Amino acid sequence: MIEVTTPAILFPAVSLLMLAYTNRFLALAKIVRDLAGQLIEHDDESLRRQIDNLELRLTLIKWMQALGILSLLSCLMSILAVHTELQMLGEALFGLSILLLFASLSVCLREVLLAGNALKVVLEKCRPDGKSRKR
């Protein structure tokens, strides 16, 4: 049996995640704009690869945000259900909110790994042999 305060523990976590996701989105949007301008001036394969990577990352960030929002909404509905003494529904909605938060963080992990690949493309371009170092 959960109390109203149990689902409320997710609020700070989800709020901070949403802020972090939004900051990532805004930073990537700026980079895309800059790279798109460079691509117009110079048709470069490296720039195209970077933009493709960024496009996928922006899509993942939108999914991260959507799943985070759904987690927060499920959490709110859980609180409402527990408050109106619909205990089983409240517990189910709280479980759903945790699953949605897990999904959001899983997509976030995928996006972070892609961020490393984006830097690898830039580093390859900087090296004379066109290859990045293996570590």
User: CA-CA distance, 31 to 44, in Å (whole number)?
Assistant: 16
Q: Any idea what DSSP says for residue 134?
A: P
Entry pTM: 0.79
Query: Mean per-residue pLDDT for 82-93?
Result: 93
Question: Contact, 46 vs 121, CB < 8 A?
Answer: yes
Residue 131 in domain: no
The more confidently predicted of residues 47 and 95 is 95
Which pLDDT tens digit goes with each residue over 113-132? Answer: 988 877 777 777 777 765 65
Residue 134 lies in a domain: no
Cβ atoms of residues 85 and 1 within 8 Å: no
Q: Which residue has the tokens 């490393």?
A: 116
Number of domains the chain contains: 1
pLDDT in tens, 59-80: 999 999 999 999 999 999 999 9
133 in a domain, yes or no? Answer: no
Give which of 126, 109, 105, 134 is closest to 50, Cα–Cα.
126
Residue 129 lies in a domain: no
